Structure 1
Amino acid sequence: MQQVQQREIPERISWARAMIFAVGYFFIAALLIGQIPGYIYNQMTSATLVGLEQGSIALAATCLAGFIVIQVIVLLFDPKPVVSPVVISALGTILTLGGLVIALATGLSGNQYFPHADTSWNPVLGGTVLWFQPDAVDLVMVGLAILFVGVAMIFYSVLALRERTNPDRSDLGTTPAVRWIIIIASMVLIIFMVGYTLVNDNGLAYAIDPKNGAQVQLILDAILYVILGATFFLTLGAFALRLHYLMRPVRKRTMSPLYAVGALGLAQSGVILLLVWLFIYPLIAWMHGWTFIGLGDYLTICGKKSAIPASCAFSPQAGYIADALITSVAFVLLMAAIWVWKPKRNLVIIGSVVTTAVLGLATLLVHTNPTEILTALLLSGAMLILATIWTSVARREFAVVGENNLGCLGMWLVFGTCLLIYVASFAFFSIPVFPNDPTAPNIPYVSGTIIPAHPAPNTPPIPGQADAVVLLAVMGIIAAIQFYFLVRNRYKV
Structure 2
Amino acid sequence: MQQATQKRELPERMSWARAMIFAIGFFLLAAILVGQIPGYIYNAMTASSLVEFERGTFSLGLICLACFAVIMVIEFLFDPKPVISPVLLAGVGAIVTIVGLAVTVGVSVTGYQSFPSEKTSLLPVLGGRFLWFQANAIDLIAVGLVILFVGLATVFYSVLAMGEKRNPDRRDLGTTPAIRIMLIVSSLLLIFFVYSYNYNPFPASIQPVVLNIVLGISVFLALGAFALRLHYLMRPVRKNTMAGLYAVGALGLAQTGALLLVFWLVAYPLLALLHPLPVLGSYLTNCTRATVIPGSCSFSQDAGYIIDAVITSSFFGAMLAAIWAWKSNRNMVVVGSVVITAVIALTALVMHTSASALPTAMMLCAAILIVATVWSMSARREFAVVGESNLGCLGMWLVMGTCLFVYLSAFAFFSMANFAAEETPPNIPNPINTAGATDAFVMFALFAVLGAIQFFFLARNRYRV
> So what's the TM-score if we normalise by structure 1?
0.90
Trace 1:160-175 onto structure 2 (pairs within 5 A).
Answer: 160-175=161-176
CA distance in 2, matches of 1:7, 1:57: 50
SS of equivalent to 1:195: helix
Question: Contact between 1:14 and 1:490, CA under 8 Å: does it hold in 2?
Answer: yes
Q: Identify which of 445, 452, 455 aligns with 1:480.
A: 452
| Residue in 2 that maps onto 1:463 | 435
Trace 1:66-145 onto structure 2 (pairs within 5 A).
Answer: 66-145=67-146
Shift of 1:492: 2.5
Shift of 1:394: 0.4
Q: Which amino acid aligns with 1:441?
A: P
Shift of 1:440: 2.5
* Count of matched residue positions in the alignment of Structure 1 and Structure 2: 459
| Residue in 2 that maps onto 1:62 | 63
Q: Which amino acid aligns with 2:239?
A: K
CA distance in 2, matches of 1:86, 1:413: 50
Question: Contact between 1:301 and 1:313, CA under 8 Å: does it hold in 2?
Answer: yes
| Residue in 2 that maps onto 1:456 | none
| Residue in 2 that maps onto 1:275 | 262
Q: Identify which of 233, 252, 268 aligns with 1:265.
A: 252
Q: Identify which of 304, 311, 314 aligns with 1:319.
A: 304
Trace 1:146-225 onto structure 2 (pairs within 5 A).
Answer: 146-199=147-200, 204-205=203-204, 216=205, 220-225=207-212
CA distance in 2, matches of 1:51, 1:464: 28
SS of equivalent to 2:286: strand
Render the CA deviation track for 1:427-465: whole Å, top value 9, x for unaligned. Answer: 1221112111113212222249xxxxxxxxxxxxx6212
Question: Contact between 1:337 and 1:348, CA under 8 Å: does it hold in 2?
Answer: yes
SS of equivalent to 2:70: helix
Instruction: Give the stretch that moved more between structures: 51-60 or 388-397.
Output: 388-397
Q: Which amino acid aligns with 1:477?
A: V
Question: Contact between 2:185 and 2:221, CA under 8 Å: does it hold in 1?
Answer: no
Shift of 1:226: 2.6
Question: Contact between 1:17 and 1:398, CA under 8 Å: does it hold in 2?
Answer: no
Alpha-carbon distance change, 61 to 235 in structure 1, aligned in 2, over 3 angstroms: same
SS of equivalent to 2:239: helix
Alpha-carbon distance change, 142 to 152 in structure 1, aligned in 2, over 3 angstroms: same
Give percent identity, aligned residues only.
Answer: 57
Question: Contact between 2:416 and 2:441, CA under 8 Å: does it hold in 1?
Answer: yes
Q: Which amino acid aligns with 1:311?
A: S
Alpha-carbon distance change, 139 to 302 in structure 1, aligned in 2, over 3 angstroms: same
CA distance in 2, matches of 1:321, 1:444: 33
Q: Identify which of 391, 400, 412 aligns with 1:406.
A: 391
Question: Contact between 2:71 and 2:245, CA under 8 Å: does it hold in 1?
Answer: yes
| Residue in 1 that maps onto 2:4 | none
Shift of 1:398: 6.7
| Residue in 2 that maps onto 1:347 | 332
| Residue in 2 that maps onto 1:246 | 233
CA distance in 2, matches of 1:240, 1:8: 35
Render the CA deviation track for 1:469-492: whole Å, top value 9, x for unaligned. Answer: 211111111111111111111112
Shift of 1:7: 4.0
Render the CA deviation track for 1:320-358: whole Å, top value 9, x for unaligned. Answer: 221121111111111111111101111110110001000
Shift of 1:82: 0.3
SS of equivalent to 2:84: coil
Q: Identify which of 374, 384, 387 aligns with 1:389.
A: 374
| Residue in 2 that maps onto 1:287 | 274
Render the CA deviation track for 1:59-110: whole Å, top value 9, x for unaligned. Answer: 0011001000000000000001000001110110111010001011101111
Shift of 1:57: 0.7
Shift of 1:194: 1.0
Q: Which amino acid aligns with 2:447?
A: M
Shift of 1:425: 2.1
Shift of 1:397: 6.0
Q: Which amino acid aligns with 1:14?
A: S
Alpha-carbon distance change, 268 to 200 in structure 1, aligned in 2, over 3 angstroms: farther
Question: Contact between 1:447 and 1:466, CA under 8 Å: does it hold in 2?
Answer: no
| Residue in 2 that maps onto 1:428 | 413
CA distance in 1, matches of 2:33, 2:348: 12
CA distance in 2, matches of 1:61, 1:325: 21
Shift of 1:467: 1.4
Shift of 1:265: 0.4
| Residue in 2 that maps onto 1:52 | 53
Alpha-carbon distance change, 351 to 394 in structure 1, aligned in 2, over 3 angstroms: same
Shift of 1:10: 6.3
Shift of 1:198: 1.2
- Runs of 4+ deviating beyond 6 Å: none
Trace 1:350-389 onto structure 2 (pairs within 5 A).
Answer: 350-389=335-374
Q: Which amino acid aligns with 2:445?
A: A
CA distance in 1, matches of 2:385, 2:191: 31
Give ranges in structure 1 of 5+ residues lacking alignment.
Answer: 1-5, 206-215, 449-461
CA distance in 2, matches of 1:274, 1:412: 48
SS of equivalent to 1:396: coil
CA distance in 2, matches of 1:398, 1:172: 17
CA distance in 2, matches of 1:419, 1:332: 27
Q: Which amino acid aligns with 1:322?
A: I
SS of equivalent to 2:109: helix
Shift of 1:401: 3.2
| Residue in 2 that maps onto 1:233 | 220
CA distance in 1, matches of 2:81, 2:132: 46
SS of equivalent to 2:463: coil
Give ranges in structure 2 of 5+ residues lacking alignment.
Answer: 1-6
